[in-house]
C-alpha cells in the first residue's frame, strides 16, 4: 500500500459527526507528513470544510456512496478509509465491498446490529483473504465497552472463570442521524445477537437480562437495567477471539439508573418507542418529529456532556472495579474514537486479527493508548 496517494480517507466528512472527525484529524495531522483526504458527494461543501480546517488542509475526493466503482477507485487510493455515512444498513455495504475489492483497511461508527451481522456474513472471508481489517463500531458503540472489558480482564487471573458487568451512564443528546439509525434498527426487529459463531478459545455467554440493585462494592448507587445495544455482542466476540478472558467468560451490559421510578419510566418509554417504531404510520410520525440527519447538539451542550462506564470484574477469588470515562460520547468522543481508529489502521502496522473484527481485536492495546493520549480515561478504581 506504500504507493497509494493517501494514508487516510474520511468519507462523509460534511455530516455532523464527519465534520468533528475531520476537525480531529486536522489537529492531529497538522505539521505531519500523513497524507489524507475528505470525501463525499458535494464538492462545494467539502471545499468549504477544507478551508475551515487547521493546517494545510486535506485533499478532496468526490464520490457517492451508491457508486461502487467510484468507491472502489477511491479505496484503491488510500491505506485506510473511515466512514460516518449512515444509516449503515442503507448506505454502508457498498463502502465495505469497495474496501475489500481494493484491499483497504476500513473503520466505521455504526451501532446497527443487522449491518454488522451482514458485514461479517458477506465479507469476513474475503477480508481475511485480502489480509485487511473491517472494524465496525468504532464510536461510543462500542469502543468504551469493548476496550473497557479488555482493560478489566487484564487486571484478573487469565486461567479462571471471569464475570464482568458494565454499568453505563451518560449525560448527552442524540443527533438526527443517530436517532434515525436507531429507529430503523428497532423497526427492522433486528436485535443484537450475542451468539458467537465458530470455534472459540473459551465458553462465552451473556448474563441473564434482569433489573437488579447494583452491588455496593461497585461504588455506584442505583439499579442496573439491561441495555439492548450492540455492545454485548461486540464484547463477546472479542472475548471469544482474544487471550486473557479467563477459562470461561460471562458479560452483563446495563444502564445505571438511580431510582426505581426512573427505572419504571425508562422501561415504559423504551417499550412505547419500540411499539411506535414497529408500525409504519407511527414510525413515519416519529421520523417527522426527530431531528434531521446531519443535525446535532450545540457546542455548548456537547461541552456539558459526559459519559462513564463502570466495570465490575470477578474471577479467581479477585474483584476489580474499573472505569472508562470522557466527554460528550456521541460526537466529540466518537470523533476521537473513529479518527484514532483509522490512524491506527494506517500507521500502527498489521495485526494477527484480520477480517470482520471488533475494535479490541483489530486495533488492540495500542488503540487504547491512542485514546488515552486524546483525553479518554481508563482507570482502576479498586482491586481486591
Q: What is the pLDDT of residue 384?
A: 85
pLDDT at 181 > cutoff 80: no
Fold for the domain defined by 6-139+333-371: Rossmann fold (3.40.50)
Q: What is the pLDDT of residue 253?
A: 94
d(CA 84, CA 117): 18
pLDDT at 201 > cutoff 80: no
The answer for residues whose C-beta is within 8 angstroms of residue 44's C-beta and 6 or more apart is none
CATH 3.30.360 spans which residues of the chain?
143-328+378-383
CB atoms within 10 A of CB 287: 16
Q: What is the pLDDT of residue 228?
A: 82
Among residues 175, 185, 150, the alpha carbon closest in space to that of 328 is found at 175
Q: What is the pLDDT of residue 173?
A: 66
More confident residue, 50 or 201: 50
CB atoms within 10 A of CB 121: 11
How large is the C-alpha radius of gyration of the chain? Answer: 20
pLDDT at 194 > cutoff 80: no
**Considering the entire predicted model, what is its pTM?**
0.89
pLDDT tier at 188, thresholds 50, 70, 90: low
SS3 383: strand
- Give strand pairing partners of 82: 10, 107
Q: Tell me what the mean pLDDT of segment 65-91 comes to.
A: 96
- Among 21-30, 117-126, 160-169, 183-192, the range scoring the smallest mean pLDDT is 183-192
Is residue 148 within 8 Å of 309, Cβ to Cβ? yes
pLDDT tier at 190, thresholds 50, 70, 90: low
CATH 3.40.50.720 spans which residues of the chain?
6-139+333-371
Going by their DSSP bridges, the two strands 59-62 and 36-40 should be labelled as parallel
Whether residue 133 is preceded by a cis peptide bond, meaning omega within 30 degrees of 0, is: no
- Among 87-96, 128-137, 177-186, the range scoring the smallest mean pLDDT is 177-186
More confident residue, 290 or 230: 230
pLDDT tier at 262, thresholds 50, 70, 90: low
Q: What confidence tens digit (pLDDT) does each residue in 333-345 have?
A: 999 999 999 999 9
d(CA 10, CA 92): 14
pLDDT tier at 36, thresholds 50, 70, 90: very high
d(CA 292, CA 237): 33
Is residue 15 within 8 Å of 42, Cβ to Cβ? no
Q: What is the pLDDT of residue 286?
A: 46
Q: What is the pLDDT of residue 284?
A: 54
Q: Which residue has the cell 470477578?
A: 314
pLDDT tier at 294, thresholds 50, 70, 90: low
Q: Which residue has the cell 477469588?
A: 317
pLDDT tier at 202, thresholds 50, 70, 90: confident
Q: Tell me what the mean pLDDT of segment 359-383 comes to.
A: 96
Residue 180's φ and ψ, nearest 5 degrees, are -65, -40
CB atoms within 10 A of CB 44: 9
pLDDT at 252 > cutoff 70: yes
Residue 211's φ and ψ, nearest 5 degrees, are -75, 135
pLDDT tier at 263, thresholds 50, 70, 90: low
The fraction of the chain above a pLDDT of 90, given in percent, is 71
- Give strand pairing partners of 38: 10, 60
Q: Tell me what the mean pLDDT of segment 270-294 comes to.
A: 51
Q: What is the grid cell recorded at 130?
A: 485480502
pLDDT at 289 > cutoff 70: no
Q: What is the pLDDT of residue 200?
A: 65
- Among 117-126, 166-175, 317-326, 374-383, the range scoring the smallest mean pLDDT is 166-175
SS (H, E, C) the chain: CCCCCEEEEEECCCCHHHHHHHHHHHHHHCCCCCCEEEEECCHHHHHHHHHHCCCCCCEEEECCCCCHHHHHHHHCCEEEEEECCCCHHHHCHHHHHHHHHHCCEEEECCCCHHHHHHHHHHHHHHHHHHCCEEECCCECCEHHHHHHHHHHHCCCCCCCCEEEEEEEEEECCCCHHHHHHHHHHHHHCCCCCCCCCCCCCCEEEECCCCCEECCHHHCCCCEEEECCCCHHHHHHHHHHHCCCCCCEEEEEEEEEECCHHHHHHHHHHHHHHHHHHHCHHHHHHHHHHCCCCCCCCCHHHHHHCEEEEEEEEEECCEEEEEEEEECCCCCHHHHHHHHHHHHHHHHCCCCCCCEEECHHHHHHHHHHHHHHHCCCEEEEEEEC
Q: What is the pLDDT of residue 273?
A: 46
Q: What confidence tens digit (pLDDT) does each residue in 120-146 have?
A: 999 999 999 999 999 999 999 999 999
The matching CATH number, chosen from 1.10.10, 3.30.360, 3.40.1710, 1.10.405, for 143-328+378-383 is 3.30.360
Amino acid at each position: 500500500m506504500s504507493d497509494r496517494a493517501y494514508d487516510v480517507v474520511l468519507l462523509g466528512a460534511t455530516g455532523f459527526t464527519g465534520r468533528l472527525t475531520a476537525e480531529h484529524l486536522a489537529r492531529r495531522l497538522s505539521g505531519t507528513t500523513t497524507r489524507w483526504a475528505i470525501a463525499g458527494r458535494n464538492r462545494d461543501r467539502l471545499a468549504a470544510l477544507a478551508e475551515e480546517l487547521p493546517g494545510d488542509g486535506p485533499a478532496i475526493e468526490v464520490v457517492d456512496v451508491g457508486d461502487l466503482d467510484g468507491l472502489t477507485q477511491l479505496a484503491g487510493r488510500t491505506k485506510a478509509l473511515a466512514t460516518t455515512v449512515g444509516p449503515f444498513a442503507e448506505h454502508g455495504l457498498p463502502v465495505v465491498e469497495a474496501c475489500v475489492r481494493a484491499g483497504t483497511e476500513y473503520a466505521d461508527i455504526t451501532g446497527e446490529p443487522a449491518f454488522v451481522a451482514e458485514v461479517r456474513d458477506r465479507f469476513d472471508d474475503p477480508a481475511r483473504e485480502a489480509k485487511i481489517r473491517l472494524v465496525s463500531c468504532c464510536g461510543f458503540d462500542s469502543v468504551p465497552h469493548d476496550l473497557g472489558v479488555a482493560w478489566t480482564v487484564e487486571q484478573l487471573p487469565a486461567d479462571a472463570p471471569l464475570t464482568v458487568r458494565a454499568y453505563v451512564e451518560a449525560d448527552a443528546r442524540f443527533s438526527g442521524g443517530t436517532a434515525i439509525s436507531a429507529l430503523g434498527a428497532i423497526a427492522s426487529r433486528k436485535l443484537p445477537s450475542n451468539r458467537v459463531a465458530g470455534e472459540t478459545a473459551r465458553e462465552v455467554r451473556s448474563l441473564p437480562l434482569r433489573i437488579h440493585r447494583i452491588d455496593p462494592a461497585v461504588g455506584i448507587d442505583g439499579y442496573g437495567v439491561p441495555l439492548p445495544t450492540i455492545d454485548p455482542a461486540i464484547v463477546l466476540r472479542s472475548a471469544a477471539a482474544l487471550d486473557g478472558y479467563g477459562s470461561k467468560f460471562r458479560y452483563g451490559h446495563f444502564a445505571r439508573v438511580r431510582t426505581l421510578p426512573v427505572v419504571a419510566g425508562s422501561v415504559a418509554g423504551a417499550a412505547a418507542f419500540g411499539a411506535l417504531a414497529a408500525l409504519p404510520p407511527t414510525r413515519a410520525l416519529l421520523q417527522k418529529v426527530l431531528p434531521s440527519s446531519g443535525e446535532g447538539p450545540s457546542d455548548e451542550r456537547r461541552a456539558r456532556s459526559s459519559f462513564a462506564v463502570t466495570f465490575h470484574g470477578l474471577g479467581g477469588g479477585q474483584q476489580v472495579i474499573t472505569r472508562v470515562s470522557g466527554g460528550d460520547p456521541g460526537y466529540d468522543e466518537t470523533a476521537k474514537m473513529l479518527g484514532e481508529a483509522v490512524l491506527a489502521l494506517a500507521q500502527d502496522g498489521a495485526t494477527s486479527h484480520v477480517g470482520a473484527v471488533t475494535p479490541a481485536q483489530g486495533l488492540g492495546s495500542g488503540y487504547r493508548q491512542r485514546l488515552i493520549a486524546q483525553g479518554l480515561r481508563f482507570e482502576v478504581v479498586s482491586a481486591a
